[in-house]
Amino acid sequence: MDYLDFEKPIEEIEAQLKKSRDLEQETEVDMSKSIRELEKRLVSTKKDIYKNLSAWQRVQLSRHPQRPYSLAYLEAITAGDFLELHGDRHVKDDKAMIGGWGKLGDFPVMFVGQQKGVNTKMRQYRNFGMANPEGYRKALRLMKMAEKFQRPVVTLIDTPGAFPGLEAEERGQGEAIARNIYEMSKLRVPIICLIIGEGASGGALGIGVGDRVLMLENTWYSVISPESCSSILWRSWDYKAQAAEALKLTAEDMLKNKLIDDIIPEPLGGAHRNREEMFEVVQKRLLKEITALRKTPVEKLLDKRLEKFEQMGVTKG
Amino acid sequence: MGWFTRRKEGITTRTKDKKETPEGLWYKCKRCKVIVSNEDHRKNLWVCKNCGHHERINAPEYFQLLFDEEQYTELNAKMTSGDPLKFEDTKKYTDRYQASVAKTGLNDAVSTAYGQLHGREVVIGAMNFNFIGGSMGSVVGEKISRAIDHALRNELPFIMISKSGGARMMEAAFSLMQMAKTSAKLARLGEAGLPYVSVLTDPTTGGVTASFAMLGDINIAEPNALIGFAGPRVVRETIGKDLPDGFQRSEFLLEHGFLDFIVERNCLKQRIDQFLGMTYPLEWDTEQTAS
Ligand SMILES: [Zn+2]
């Protein structure tokens, strides 16, 4: 497990614990007292650190290299009953955007999400979770299929942004995102959007319009990354922590500003510290939301969806 | 529909000299450097007679250009931002905002109005690039949303003239959600069968391109306008190469299938009118027999 800079005290205690346990096994000397003490210290240290995370620390957690990505969630929450589908039917199959049918409990659901790679080679293959226009068009194709068969849509958002490349511009990155937002606002099935990592700007919103928009506890969602914000407004890369603070991009701030519907708590230390627990929490929550949303008549669902986004913004006069 | 009663209240007539000319009597073209009198430049709709360069103009100029007899009624003219995040970088957002209000005499980066275009009532939104780079915050989203509401209530066509650097960072996620708000409203306009004309002008980038600017029944643009999602600097850094000539310009977008046509400013009104004549009102048959 990789430790972030602010997790160093935890790393130290965990290293000591391991040493004591190894020693106990090797020497058969009873170390249980010191082990128990270390365990207690570990719990309280973790609580201290994770209770008071700064915005920037949350951003770091959201990008933790061992954090589970979309496909890991899908495999777990559908218990393997997942049928991945490919291609936008125009240009290609975008590896940064995945999707397909999966069973959530008894419900067939269309899943769509950005996908990051788990190692250097796969990160390249997945283009770091930065979709091209064909990724957004693939997502839209799948969402329209869900509408045809009257099944709910679940989107998993985890992207540092839509890809800003030359071909992406040629093929209409702006149009692709705009079209998704437009179509999602009137898609006649329930949509649940869940931010599982990074929610950067239009790249996130391109699969982010729904009846429920939820954030995992250690994720961020904003119009720009703290680094880019720092470089533009402070004209230096060094103010990313201040920028993260100013952008109010944490789940807590987003909920307070009524820009999302709820927060899903993560295991102590983040989703990667206990993946199975995280998957179970997410599965239960999605099931609960789908059960509730399916009871709402579609016209009412669409009115409420529009109303929610209509109310976002603070103006005077 | 009470056109005439409604037009009587709060009519605004713009004077000819709205475009300020602090630099004196002469205009020097930014592209070909040819000098003409400001009066001639204005008469030519701020387009260089020599090279065709379309100078950036703001909402008041577009309203003069498009509304019959320069008469229109502005909607929500006094709306300003509430600074929801108390945002502060090297400066306070409220200070930047006030400075922009003082500099431009406008209240935010979009103005919306209704009036007649060749005798047909329409709603027009136009962006002010001189107001914090035409960036989209809560006010831009809300005014566009309410302008579309006005179009929906009165069954009118909607025309949006975009000119924006993208999101207003100082409103962070509030800014982002304006993309959803405006697009969702346009979806309603579409379902009501009302036409939406998107006019893209120099420059239209970022969140505006990724929402209402690309969602027209027709997307049209002034010549040589910069239009893109990512800005050219970011794209250049991503690919590590110089960008080809004409990249992200109107002609490039037309060629790649994202615009219906390019329109010179002096033809803008006529071409919009021509399109509306084909698509509006919805029930043209009954309308014809009724009149
Ligand atoms: Zn010129």
**Which range marks the domain in which residue B7 is found?**
3-19+57-290
Task: Work out the number of other CB atoms within 10 angstroms of the CB of residue B259.
Answer: 23
Chain B CB contacts of A205 under 8 Å are: 176-177, 179-180, 210
Find the B28 Cα to ligand 1 centroid distance in Å: 8
B53-76 residue pLDDT tens:
999 999 999 999 999 999 999 999
| Interface mutation target, options B200, B229, B233, B254, chain A, most CBs of A under 10 Å | B229
pLDDT at A193 over 90: yes
C-beta of residue B247 within 8 angstroms of C-beta of residue A186: no
Interval A142-157 mean pLDDT:
98
Q: Note whether B227 and B261 are same-domain residues.
A: yes
Model confidence band, residue B283 (pLDDT cutoffs 50, 70, 90): confident
What is the predicted pLDDT for the residue at B9?
Answer: 39
What is the predicted pLDDT for the residue at B21?
Answer: 45
Q: Note whether B171 and B193 are same-domain residues.
A: yes
Mode of pairing for the β-strands spanning A153-159 and A315-316: unpaired
Q: Note whether B86 and B38 are same-domain residues.
A: no
Angle (CA) A263 A219 A147, round 5°: 70
CATH code: domain of residue B285: 3.90.226.10
Q: Note whether B144 and B286 are same-domain residues.
A: yes
- Percent helix, strand, coil in chain A, to 5, is 55, 15, 30
- Strand residue runs (E) in chain A: 82-84, 97-104, 107-114, 153-159, 191-200, 212-216, 220-222, 262-264, 315-316
Chain A CB contacts of B139 under 8 Å are: 313, 315
Give B 123-182 residues with CB within 8 A of chain A: 137-139, 141-142, 145, 167, 169-181
pLDDT at A196 over 80: yes
C-beta of residue A198 within 8 angstroms of C-beta of residue A292: no
Share of residues in chain B with pLDDT > 90 (%): 88
Find the B35 Cα to ligand 1 centroid distance in Å: 8
Q: Tell me the two tokens of residue B197.
A: 């004309």
Nearest in space to A208 (alpha carbons), one of A279, A130, A154, A273: A154
Q: Note whether B42 and B93 are same-domain residues.
A: no
Nearest in space to A176 (alpha carbons), one of B282, B211, B262: B211
For A64-112, give the DSSP string. Answer: -TTS--HHHHHHHHTTT-EEE----SSS---TTEEEEEEEETTEEEEEE
The answer to whether the bond into A65 is cis (omega within 30° of 0) is: no
Model confidence band, residue B18 (pLDDT cutoffs 50, 70, 90): very low
The answer to whether the bond into B203 is cis (omega within 30° of 0) is: yes
For A235, nearest residue in chain B (alpha carbons)? B90
Q: Note whether B265 and B187 are same-domain residues.
A: yes
Do B234 and A224 count as a contact with CB atoms less than 8 A apart?
A: no
A and B: number of Cβ contacts within 8 A = 201
Three-class DSSP category at B161? strand
Q: Note whether B105 and B238 are same-domain residues.
A: yes
Whole-model pTM: value is: 0.93
Half-sphere exposure in the Cβ direction for A210 (13 Å, CA): 29
Q: Cα(B126)–Cα(B198) distance, rounded to whole angstroms?
A: 10
Burial of B1 (0-12, 13-18, 19+ CB in 10 A): exposed
Share of residues in chain A with pLDDT > 90 (%): 96
Who wins on pLDDT, B287 or B134?
A: B134
Share of residues in chain A with pLDDT > 70 (%): 100
Give the closest-approach CA distance of B33 to chain A in angstroms.
31
Q: Note whether B44 and B121 are same-domain residues.
A: no
Task: Work out the number of other CB atoms within 10 angstroms of the CB of residue B63.
Answer: 23
Find the B136 Cα to ligand 1 centroid distance in Å: 30
Chain B CB contacts of A224 under 8 Å are: 167, 169, 172
C-beta of residue A187 within 8 angstroms of C-beta of residue A208: no
Q: Note whether B31 and B160 are same-domain residues.
A: no
Angle (CA) A286 A289 A294, round 5°: 120
Mode of pairing for the β-strands spanning B35-37 and B158-164: unpaired
Q: Does CATH number 3.40.50.1980 belong to domain A59-310?
A: no
B109-123 residue pLDDT tens:
999 999 999 999 999
Nearest in space to A163 (alpha carbons), one of A216, A218, A220, A124: A124
The beta-carbon neighbor of A310 closest among B83, B173, B181 is B181
What is the predicted pLDDT for the residue at B1?
Answer: 34
What is the predicted pLDDT for the residue at B285?
Answer: 61
A89-115 residue pLDDT tens:
999 999 999 999 999 999 999 999 999
Q: Cα(B77)–Cα(B60) distance, rounded to whole angstroms?
A: 12
Q: Note whether B261 and B182 are same-domain residues.
A: yes
pLDDT at A179 over 90: yes
Interval A80-90 mean pLDDT:
97
Q: Note whether B48 and B148 are same-domain residues.
A: no
pLDDT at B2 over 50: no
Give the closest-approach CA distance of A302 to chain B in angstroms.
10
Three-class DSSP category at A195? strand
Q: Tell me the two tokens of residue B177.
A: 């959600």
Q: Note whether B32 and B168 are same-domain residues.
A: no
What is the predicted pLDDT for the residue at B288?
Answer: 53
Give the closest-approach CA distance of A212 to chain B in angstroms.
14
Task: State how many domains chain B has.
Answer: 2
pLDDT at A137 over 80: yes
Model confidence band, residue A317 (pLDDT cutoffs 50, 70, 90): confident
What is the predicted pLDDT for the residue at B13?
Answer: 42
Interval B182-201 mean pLDDT:
98
C-beta of residue A166 within 8 angstroms of C-beta of residue A197: no
Interval A34-39 mean pLDDT:
93
Interval B253-278 mean pLDDT:
98
What is the predicted pLDDT for the residue at A28?
Answer: 86
Residue A212: strand pairing partners = A192
pLDDT at B91 over 90: yes
Three-class DSSP category at A226? helix
